[in-house]
Amino acid sequence: MAALWRRRSRWWLELGLCRTGRALSSGESEYDLIVIGGGSGGLACAKEASQFGKKVAVLDYVEPSPKGTKWGLGGTCVNVGCIPKKLMHQAALLGSSLKDAQRYGWNISRPVHHDWSTMAKAIQNHVKSLNWGHRVQLQDKKVKYFNLKGSFLDENTIRGLAKGGKEILLRAKNVVLATGGRPKYPTNVAGAWEHGITSDDIFWLKKSPGKTLVVGASYVSLECAGFLTGLGLDTTVMMRSIPLRGFDQQMAILVTDYMENYGTRFLKKCSPMKVKKTDNGRLRVTWKYLDSGKEKSDEFDTVMWAVGRTPDTKPLNLDATGVKINAETGKIIVDAKEATLVPHIYAIGDITEGRPELTPTAIAAGKLLARRLFGQSEELMDYNSVPTTVFTPLEYGCVGLSEEEAVKRFGLDSIEVYHAFYKPLEFTVAERDATQCYMKMVCLRETEGRILGLHFLGPNAGEVIQGFALGIKCGATYSQMMKTIGIHPTCAEEVTKLHITKRSGLDPTVTGC
Ligand code: FAD
Ligand code: NDP
C-alpha cells in the first residue's frame, strides 16, 4: 500500500499538478532546497546550490498588477525594475544627446519626435529574451522550475498553487524565501487604485502615458519622472517631504534642482487627496498644500504612484511556521546568516528587514547563502559600503556614508569633506548647464583620512562610482586617493584631485583643464 502511495505521489509530482487534490512528494522527491521567488536573489541562490549537486526547485509566480500587467521569470529587476528602467533612461539620454549633437555639427532635421510604442516594444522584447534566458539557465543547471505560487503548509511542506487553482505539495529540507515586494497604493486617496498605475505598469504600456503625475520622491519616482521628462512628456512630481530620504540631502537637492531645470515640474510639500476620471477620459487630481492647507487640482493623462513597496510575505502563510516578521514593515527578520527563527528556513533580498533593496545585494546574499548551506563556506554577506546609483537625468552615484550620517557617527570635528563643482568636458561645446555637477568625499580627519563616503553627481555616475567602491571597501584613505593618477580628460579624474575642504569656505569650483 505504502509503495503504491509512493508511486502515485511520484507520478503526480512528475506530472507537475494534482488533478483531484493535493499530492505529497515521497521521500525520494524531497528537495534539498526549495526557493520561493524566482527574482534576483532566488535565482542566484538556486543556481549556486545546484552547483553542489543538490536537488533544487524554484517556485516563481507573478500576480498581475491591479491594472492586469503581468510578466515572466526573473523578478522585479528584469521585468519591472532595473532593466526596463535603465533602458528608458537611456532612451531619454539619447534625446539630450541629439540636442548636443547639433552643437557638434550633426545636421538633424527638426522636429525630432520620440515614438513611445517603438521604444516600449523593443524594451519589452529584450525583457522577454531575458525571461527565456533564465528558464534555459535553470534547465542547464538542473534546477526544477515551477510556475506556481508558493506557501507553507508546515515548516517543511510547500504548497504550490497554479493559475487555474490546481496545486501540488513539495517537501524541502531547506527553504529560501525570496519573494521580493510590490508597489504600494496610497490608502487615503479616493480613486487611487481605480485610476492610478505603478512601476509595475509603466514599462509595459503600449502607448505613451502622456501628461503624467508621479507621486513620491524616492528612487522610483525620480527615475521614472526623469525619463518621462527626457522623452518629452509633460511630467510633474508630487512630494510631501524631502527627496531621496536616506541619501545625502545636499546631493538629493542638487538632483531635483537639475530635474527642475531639465523640465520636470515639482509640487513640493503637497499631498494627493483624490483622483477622478473626467468626461473626456482624463484624470483630475486634487491635492493639498501641507503648509497652507489650500487645495488645488489639475488634469493628467496618467497618475503613477511611487509611494514605496510592500514585501510579498502575506501569501506565504508564515503562520504555519515560526518565521517572524516585523509587524510594521511586513519584512522577514533574519540574522547575519540570512536565517529566520526556524533553523532550515532562510530569507534574502527585498523581503528581509534592514537590507538594501538592490539587485546586486540580493544576488550576492543568495550565492553566499547557498555556499554556506551546501559548500562548507562560512562567509557572510557584508552589507557595508554597498554602492548605488540613482538614474535620474543627471545621475547620482554614491558609496559609503552620507555627510549627515558621518557627522552623526563621528562628530563634526572628526570629519573632513572635500568637494568640487566641476564641468564635464562634453558639456562645454554642447553648452549644457553644469550647475549641479558636483562631487564630495567624506573622510575621517585623522592623519591618513580614511574615506567614509563618496558622492558623485554627473554623467555615468554608476560607472564612475563602481571602481572607487573597491578602493573604499579596501579602506582607502584621502592620501591614497591623492596619489592615484587620474585619467584625463574624464569626470572621474576630478575625484583624484579633490583638495578644497568645506571647512575652508573656499570656492570649490574647478577651474582650468
Ligand atoms: P524580486 O526580484 O522582486 O523577485 C521576487 C519574485 O518572487 C517575483 O518574481 C515574484 O513574482 C515572485 N513571488 C512573490 N511571491 C511569490 C510566491 N508566493 N510564490 C512564488 N513566487 C512568488 N535595483 C538595483 O540594484 N538597480 C536598479 O537600477 C534598480 N532599479 C529599480 C527600479 C524599479 C522601478 C524598482 C521597483 C526596483 C529597482 N531596483 C533596482 C530594485 C531591485 O529590482 C530589487 O532590489 C530586486 O529585484 C530584489 O530582488 P529579490 O530577489 O529580493 O525579489
Ligand atoms: P521608498 O520607500 O524609498 O520611497 C517612497 C516615497 O514615497 C518617499 O518619497 C515617500 O515620502 C513617498 N510616499 C510614501 N507614502 C506616500 C503618500 N501616501 N503620499 C505621498 N508620498 C508618499 O520607495 P521606492 O519605491 O522609491 O524605492 C524602493 C526601493 O527600491 C529603494 O529603497 C531602492 O533600494 C530600490 N530601487 C533602487 C533603484 C536603483 O538602484 N537605482 C531604483 C529604484 C528603486 P516620505 O519620504 O515623506 O515618506
- What is the rounded CA–CA span in Å between residue 348 and residue 371? 14
The alpha carbon of residue 506 and the mean position of all alpha carbons in its chain are separated, in whole angstroms, by: 37
Residue 136 forms beta bridges with which residues?
none
Give me the sign of the Cα torsion angle 130, 131, 133, 134: positive
Ligand 1 and 42: CB distance under 6 A = yes
Judged against a pLDDT cut of 60, whether residue 325 lies above it is answered with yes
Judged against a pLDDT cut of 80, whether residue 246 lies above it is answered with yes
Q: Ligand 2, residue 188: give the atom nearest the CA.
A: 18
Distance 509 CA to ligand 1 centre (A): 40
* Chain segment 470-507, per-residue pLDDT in tens: 999 999 999 999 999 999 999 999 999 999 999 999 99
Kindly report which listed range (13-22, 72-81, 226-235, 435-444) carries the lowest average pLDDT score: 13-22
Q: Where are the domains of the chain?
A: 2-61+147-183+310-374, 192-308, 388-501
Burial of 476 (0-12, 13-18, 19+ CB in 10 A): buried
Given a contact cutoff of 8 angstroms between Cβ atoms, the answer to whether 420 and 412 are in contact is no
Distance 170 CA to ligand 1 centre (A): 24
Same fold, 2-61+147-183+310-374 and 388-501: no
Ligand nearest to the CA of 74: 1
Which residues have CB under 8 Å from 431's CB, separation 6+? 103
Ligand nearest to the CA of 85: 1
- What is the rounded CA–CA span in Å between residue 241 and residue 136? 45
* Chain segment 299-314, per-residue pLDDT in tens: 999 999 999 999 999 9
* Chain segment 371-388, per-residue pLDDT in tens: 999 999 999 999 999 999
DSSP assignments along 100-131, one per residue: HHHHTT---PSSP---HHHHHHHHHHHHHHHH
Question: How much is the pTM?
Answer: 0.94
Q: What is the mean pLDDT of residues 94-106?
A: 96
Ligand 2 and 358: CB distance under 6 A = yes
Distance 244 CA to ligand 2 centre (A): 7
* Chain segment 437-472, per-residue pLDDT in tens: 999 999 999 888 999 999 999 999 999 999 999 999
At 22 the pLDDT is 52
Ligand 2 and 461: CB distance under 6 A = no
Residue whose CA lies nearest to ligand 2 atom number 35: 357
Element spanning 59, H or E = strand 56-59
At 512 the pLDDT is 76
At 447 the pLDDT is 81
Q: What is the mean pLDDT of residues 284-288?
A: 98
At 9 the pLDDT is 40
- What is the rounded CA–CA span in Å between residue 210 and residue 299? 11
Given a contact cutoff of 8 angstroms between Cβ atoms, the answer to whether 299 and 284 are in contact is yes
- What is the rounded CA–CA span in Å between residue 236 and residue 258? 14
At 500 the pLDDT is 98
Question: Regarding the domain delimited by 192-308, which CATH topology (the fold level of the hierarchy) does it fall under?
Answer: FAD/NAD(P)-binding domain (3.50.50)
Residue whose CA lies nearest to ligand 2 atom number 39: 390
* Chain segment 394-412, per-residue pLDDT in tens: 999 999 999 999 999 999 9
Ligand 2 and 124: CB distance under 6 A = no
Q: In percent, how much of the chain has pLDDT > 70?
A: 94
Judged against a pLDDT cut of 70, whether residue 244 lies above it is answered with yes
For 294, 373, 414, 438, the CA distances from 447, given in Å and listed in that order, are: 54, 43, 11, 25
Distance 389 CA to ligand 2 centre (A): 14
DSSP assignments along 197-216, one per residue: B-HHHHTT-SS---SEEEE-
**Coil, helix or strand at residue 223:** helix
Ligand 2 and 220: CB distance under 6 A = yes
At 513 the pLDDT is 67
* Chain segment 128-138, per-residue pLDDT in tens: 999 999 999 99
Q: In percent, how much of the chain has pLDDT > 90?
A: 93
Dmax over CA atoms of the chain, in Å, equals 87
> What single-letter amino acid sits at 330?
G
Q: What is the mean pLDDT of residues 269-280?
A: 97
Scan for cell 568625499, then name that residue: 441
Q: Which CATH architecture has domain 388-501?
A: 2-Layer Sandwich (3.30)
- What is the rounded CA–CA span in Å between residue 460 and residue 354? 28
Burial annotation 368-400 (CB, 10 A radius, 16+ → b, else e):
bbbbbbbbeeeeebeeebbbbbbbbbbbbbbbb
Judged against a pLDDT cut of 70, whether residue 14 lies above it is answered with no
- What is the rounded CA–CA span in Å between residue 507 and residue 509? 6
Question: Regarding the domain delimited by 2-61+147-183+310-374, which CATH topology (the fold level of the hierarchy) does it fall under?
Answer: FAD/NAD(P)-binding domain (3.50.50)
Mean pLDDT score of the chain: 94
- What is the rounded CA–CA span in Å between residue 106 and residue 1? 80
> What single-letter amino acid sits at 302?
T
Scan for cell 532550515, then name that residue: 344
At 426 the pLDDT is 97
Kindly report which listed range (18-32, 99-113, 161-175) carries the lowest average pLDDT score: 18-32
Judged against a pLDDT cut of 70, whether residue 8 lies above it is answered with no
Judged against a pLDDT cut of 60, whether residue 139 lies above it is answered with yes
> What would the grid cell of residue 41 be?
536573489
